[in-house]
Amino acid sequence: MSSSNFRYSIFAFLFISAPLAAQEEKILRSQLKDQTAVSLTVYANGRSMIRDRRKINFEKGQMTLELQDVSAQMRSETAQFRNISSPGDINVLEQNLEFDLLSPQKLLEKYLGKSVSVIRSHPTNGSDTSEPAEVLSVQDGVILKMKGRIETGMPGRISFSELPANLRSQPTLSLLVDSKKRGEQEVELNYLSDGLTWRADYIADLNSEENKINLTGLVTLTNESGTTFKNAQLQLMGGDIQTVEGSPRRMRKAQQNVMAFAATPEADSAPSRMQSEAFFEYHLYSLPRKTSILSNQTKQVVLLQAADVISRKEIVFAGGNSFPYGEENDFEFGQDQGTSSSVDDAELGTPIAGSVYLAFENDQKSRMGMPLPAGTVRVYKRDTLAASQFIGEDNIKHTAENERVRVRLGSSFDVTARRKKLSFKNIPAPANLRKTIRVVEYSNRVTLSNAKASEQNVIYRESIPGEGKIQQSSKEYSLLGKGNVEWKLTIPAKGKVSLDYTVRANLRN
């Protein structure tokens, strides 16, 4: 090739490459104002599925598309970008998660080894003076080199010449795309994100007769994702969903641990109760209206409201193993081991704690019948002055329709129980089993006392050891399963009830 042809080829290459290089540097920015719809499904484990639709004016050819106002805790490996208007007209070549957000500290870090200006104000006349400085270090404070001297701390206001290109003022997903045509296109970005959590909170108002409740279920939603979701379609997934915890590169939180309750007015007069549907092995709860979820906001929406739900109070005494002593030599008539008391336990017996529960059936008959996500139930009751008093709270698991809900409120105060040993003896074991088992027979007495002015229904439970069986009981009982026995008793007002029973058990040697 001649030298003239070579120079021409180089010139033609540069002429053709110049617009291509400029084309590669073309940047198209999309902000929240471009959003046409947003919907999110929030899971109880802190994960959420976000679907973000936008209308964007594309140029033809290759460009960088910056999608701003996405979640700051996006899991970038889950991002899916697609063209809704004309599938196939936009190809994604690569994507980058810009997780360095603008802050004074980040700005100083980007200027490490570079020049800045230090501006000082005169203490009397207020005039400003500017002095150049080099940033030497920003670790554990700022170190500057100024006219041959080293300054630490912040000697004045620091002025920067420009904003670094790779430092973003807001969460941004950067895509290198190739558009086949020019014009407005509606696109959708789907991705998983951390930073959005929800829990269920229930308020139960117990009536004076203690047999019905008014139940309100609230969803408490916290948004620490670093972005705002305006007029979003909100869904909540109830159930334990498996996720794999890795170490993906995610955007850092713009702010942490900032929560302020701020109720968002309803957009319209549509019903506020969430609608439930079975979805795979979980339950999906959908809000029938759109709502805005601001960044760093905790808000509540109504999950359910049910009036006059049939309920009952349960006082349960769990005696544990009815044979707590070990060998025969450890047992002495009328003595309880392992307990201490200021009263004569040999005469009264060992105290057994009683737990108070509020129970109801999650079915249509009880005026319920909606799958209840796991959460905290707080129970209130009005006193004689009509003031609402808090009487206990408990966590419940995911509760399907037609299952029972039991909320432990605390310990029984006026209804008490004591268990006393009455007798103990060894029974000859069958000859072929004497080397492996020992047969014993013992009797207990349980005394239940009621200091209230009204009769009280209680449940007393015990575990029978060694494949034991009840030989005799002064009250009717039920077998709950292998070794578990239950008595349902009514204690009169200001009265007592005694329960005597005898157990025969096979104990292994």
Domain coordinates in residue numbering, the chain: 104-159, 194-306, 313-359+406-508
Question: In sequence order, which residues have a C-beta less than 8 Å from that of residue 318 and are 6 or more positions away?
Answer: 352, 353, 355, 461, 462
Please give the span between the terminal C-alpha atoms of the chain, in angstroms, as a whole number: 104
pLDDT of 133 strictly over 50 = yes
Beta strands 388-396; 350-352: pairing state: unpaired
- For the stretch 346-404, pLDDT in tens is 567 889 999 999 999 999 999 999 899 999 999 999 999 999 999 999 999 999 999 99
Whether residue 102 has pLDDT greater than 80: no
Neighbours of 391 (CB within 10 A): 15
Q: Where are the alpha helices (DSSP H) in 345-460?
A: 345-348
Length of the chain: 509
pLDDT of amino acid 272: 55
CB count within 10 Å of CB 98 equals 19
- Report d(CA 490, CA 90) in Å as an integer: 75
- Say whether pLDDT at 18 is over 90: no
Of 14-23, 40-49, 244-253, 360-369, where does mean pLDDT reach its minimum? Answer: 14-23
The answer to whether 458 and 489 are in contact (CB under 8 A) is yes
Looking at the predicted structure, is the pLDDT value of residue 21 above 50?
A: no
Q: Are 40 and 232 in contact (CB under 8 A)?
A: yes
Nearest 10 degrees: CA dihedral of 306, 308, 309, 314?
140
Nearest to 198 by CA among 281, 69, 301, 288: 301
Name the token pair of 406.
């039991």
* Rounded mean pLDDT, 407-426: 94
Residue with tokens 């009328």: 334
Per-residue model confidence (pLDDT) at position 100? 65
**What value, to the nearest 5°, has the Cα angle with vertex 94 and ends 91 and 97?**
125
Q: What phi-psi label fits residue 108: left (phi over 0), alpha (psi between -120 and 50 degrees) or beta?
A: alpha
Would you state the pLDDT for residue 245?
66
Chain-wide mean pLDDT for the chain? 83
What single letter denotes the amino acid at residue 12?
A
CATH of 104-159 among 2.60.40, 2.20.110, 2.30.30, 2.60.120: 2.30.30
Read off the pLDDT of residues 173-206 as tens digits, 9 standing for 90 and up.
999 999 999 999 999 999 999 999 999 999 999 9
Judged on CB neighbours under 10 Å (0-12, 13-18, 19+), 277 is exposed
Bridge partner list, 276: 285
- The mean per-residue pLDDT over the stretch 288-313 comes to 93
**Of 172-176, 228-232, 326-330, 344-348, where does mean pLDDT reach its minimum?**
326-330
Measured distance CA(104)–CA(481) in Å, rounded: 66
pLDDT score of 15: 39
d(CA 479, CA 183): 75
Q: In the chain, what percentage of residues exceed pLDDT 90?
A: 57
Mean pLDDT of 405-424: 94
Which is more confidently placed, 235 or 279?
235
Determine the average pLDDT of the residues in 14-41: 72
Q: How confident is the model at residue 260 (pLDDT cuts 50, 70, 90)?
A: very low
Highest average pLDDT, of 121-135, 321-335, 339-353, 445-459, comes from: 445-459
21-30, 119-128, 465-474: the lowest-pLDDT one: 21-30
Among 127-136, 199-208, 317-326, the least confident range: 317-326
Percent of the chain clearing pLDDT 70 (strictly above): 83
Is residue 270 pLDDT above 70, yes or no?
A: no
Q: What is the pLDDT of residue 124?
A: 85
Give the Cα separation of 244 and 256 in Å (integer): 23
Q: State the pLDDT confidence band at 99, using cuts at 50, 70 and 90.
A: low
**Mean pLDDT in residue range 95-108:** 77
**Mean pLDDT over residues 398-423, rounded?**
94
* Top-confidence residue, 191 or 124: 191
